[in-house]
């Protein structure tokens, strides 16, 4: 699979088939906590970075196999970067809506929400998961390091407009980095923005996976809980969704694992849960991939993560 990966066990959405709309890593932000590494093309240009037809064809091939399609809880449009930069976003959502009755979600950093055409496309999704890590210009620039033309006010107003115009759910995610966007001023500014936006859910997160910058440190569970209690709206910290264990774990194959590890660092446990594979043979395969330098191992928060190295 070239543009699809998983299904992976998403902490937000359950078993999710990822649809990747961009080559790695094109984004309008260069977040210090990004699990994909540093942004290589910082841009706000909307283009057809990958032919829309190629993505729809791959989806059709996936959906033609009823056994694989039945394992998917949700189709998640994401990217090795910012998915709203892809000009074919609306067409891909419409294609999915015609071909499946499973919900479609889109993850976005919100940077293009000042554009009416982007909001119109996102309004076709069942769930939009935008991020808003800070409502203060100083900490917004520090944590997200956006492209020059991105305006924080445009993001906040765009989120409020999408909430009014969209028919689906808005689950707003805030990722906190210790000492960067967790001050009392940050919380006051976030609450002002949250009252305006009124998301259906607020999901609080911290640096759970290996970040782009080593100085991006996670909050303790207690600090994250404390912030969650102060937020204006229905806030929760993100926890792992429990997926039903498959009746008989299957053997892992590299062609399924590598696309996953290209998009995000995962532990052996993440892979077993997402793909329903046996623990011991998954670890054996990871050791072989490591030996062949096809994956690298990173220790983060006392957990061993595997990922495909950047080219
Ligand atoms: S976390 Fe998302 S928005 Fe931030 S740089 Fe990475 S891909 Fe872009």
Higher-confidence residue of 59 and 287: namely 59
Query: Is the same domain home to 267 and 228?
Result: no
Q: Which atom of ligand 1 is nearest to the CA of 107?
A: 2
User: 37 — alpha (psi -120 to 50), left (phi > 0) or beta?
Assistant: left
Domain containing 256: what range?
Answer: 250-311
pLDDT over 70 (residue 173) = yes
Q: Whose CA is nearest to atom 6 of ligand 1?
A: 34
Distance 73 CA to ligand 1 centre (A): 24
Query: Is the same domain home to 51 and 170?
Result: yes
Please compute the mean of the pLDDT values over residues 221-231 and round it to a whole number. Answer: 93
**Number of folded domains that form the chain:** 2
The pLDDT value given to residue 291: 85
Q: Whose CA is nearest to atom 1 of ligand 1?
A: 34
Please compute the mean of the pLDDT values over residues 48-75 and round it to a whole number. Answer: 92
Query: Is the same domain home to 135 and 189?
Result: yes
The pLDDT value given to residue 149: 96
Q: Which residues pair with 47 in a beta bridge?
A: 86
With beta carbons less than 8 A apart as the criterion, state whether 197 and 160 touch: yes
Residue keyed to tokens 């998983």: 6
**CATH (domain of 19):** 3.20.20.70
In the structure encoding, which two tokens stand for residue 289, read together? 């991939």
Last residue of a domain, one of 243, 274, 303: 243
Q: For the whole prediction, is pTM greater than 0.75? A: yes
The pLDDT value given to residue 247: 45
Q: Can you point out the beta strands (E) in 111-255? A: 127-130, 169-176, 201-206, 235-237
Please compute the mean of the pLDDT values over residues 60-85 and round it to a whole number. Answer: 90
Work out the pLDDT band at 243, boundaries 50, 70, 90.
very low
CA 54 from centroid of its chain's CA atoms: 22
Distance 108 CA to ligand 1 centre (A): 9
Last residue of a domain, one of 243, 268, 287: 243
Ligand 1 pocket mutation pick from 22, 23, 29 by most atoms within 8 angstroms of CB: 29
Distance 82 CA to ligand 1 centre (A): 7
Query: Is the same domain home to 296 and 205?
Result: no
Query: Is the same domain home to 171 and 235?
Result: yes
Eight-state DSSP code of residue 84: G
Query: Is the same domain home to 256 and 239?
Result: no
Query: Is the same domain home to 49 and 189?
Result: yes
Eight-state DSSP code of residue 104: E
Query: Is the same domain home to 76 and 211?
Result: yes
Non-local (6+) Cβ contacts of 138 within 8 A are: none
Pocket of ligand 1, beta carbon within 6 A: 27, 29-31, 34, 36, 39, 81-82, 109
Query: Is the same domain home to 179 and 122?
Result: yes
Distance 29 CA to ligand 1 centre (A): 6
Query: Is the same domain home to 254 and 191?
Result: no
State the chain's mean pLDDT as an integer. Answer: 89
**Distance (Å, rounded) from C-alpha 40 to C-alpha 159?**
26
**Cα–Cα–Cα angle for 105, 275, 300, nearest 5°?**
85
**CATH (domain of 259):** 1.10.10.10
Distance 36 CA to ligand 1 centre (A): 8
User: 302 — alpha (psi -120 to 50), left (phi > 0) or beta?
Assistant: left
Distance 244 CA to ligand 1 centre (A): 30
Query: Is the same domain home to 263 and 235?
Result: no
Q: Whose CA is nearest to atom 4 of ligand 1?
A: 31
Work out the pLDDT band at 58, boundaries 50, 70, 90.
very high
Last residue of a domain, one of 243, 263, 297: 243
Query: Is the same domain home to 128 and 260?
Result: no
Q: Which atom of ligand 1 is nearest to the CA of 27?
A: 8
Q: Which atom of ligand 1 is nearest to the CA of 109?
A: 3
């Amino acid at each position: 699979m070239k543009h699809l990966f998983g299904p992976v066990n998403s902490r937000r959405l359950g078993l999710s088939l990822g649809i990747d709309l961009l080559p790695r890593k094109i984004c309008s932000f260069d977040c210090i906590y990004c699990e994909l590494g540093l942004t290589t093309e910082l841009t706000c240009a909307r283009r057809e970075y990958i032919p829309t037809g190629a993505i729809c064809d791959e989806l059709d091939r996936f959906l033609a196999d009823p056994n694989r399609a039945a394992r998917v809880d949700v189709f998640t449009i994401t990217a090795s970067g910012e998915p709203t930069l892809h000009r074919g976003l609306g067409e891909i959502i419409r294609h999915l809506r015609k071909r499946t009755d499973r919900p479609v979600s889109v993850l976005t950093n919100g940077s293009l929400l000042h554009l009416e055409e982007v909001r119109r496309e996102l309004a076709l999704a069942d769930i939009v998961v935008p991020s808003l890590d800070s409502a203060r210009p100083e900490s917004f620039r520090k944590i997200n390091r956006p492209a020059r033309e991105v305006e924080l006010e445009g993001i906040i107003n765009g989120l409020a407009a999408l909430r009014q115009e969209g028919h689906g759910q808005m689950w707003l995610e805030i990722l906190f980095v210790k000492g960067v966007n967790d001050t009392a001023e940050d919380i006051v500014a976030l609450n002002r923005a949250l009252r305006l936006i009124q998301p259906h859910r607020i999901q609080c997160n911290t640096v759970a996976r290996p970040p782009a910058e080593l100085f991006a440190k996670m909050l303790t569970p207690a600090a994250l809980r404390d912030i969650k209690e102060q937020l204006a709206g229905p806030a929760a910290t993100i926890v792992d969704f429990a997926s039903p264990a498959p009746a008989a774990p299957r053997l892992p194959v590299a062609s399924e694992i590598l696309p996953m590890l290209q998009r995000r660092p995962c532990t052996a446990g993440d892979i077993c849960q997402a793909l329903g594979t046996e623990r011991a043979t998954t670890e054996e395969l990871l050791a072989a991939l490591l030996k062949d330098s096809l994956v690298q191992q990173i220790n983060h928060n006392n957990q061993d993560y595997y990922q495909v190295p950047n080219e």
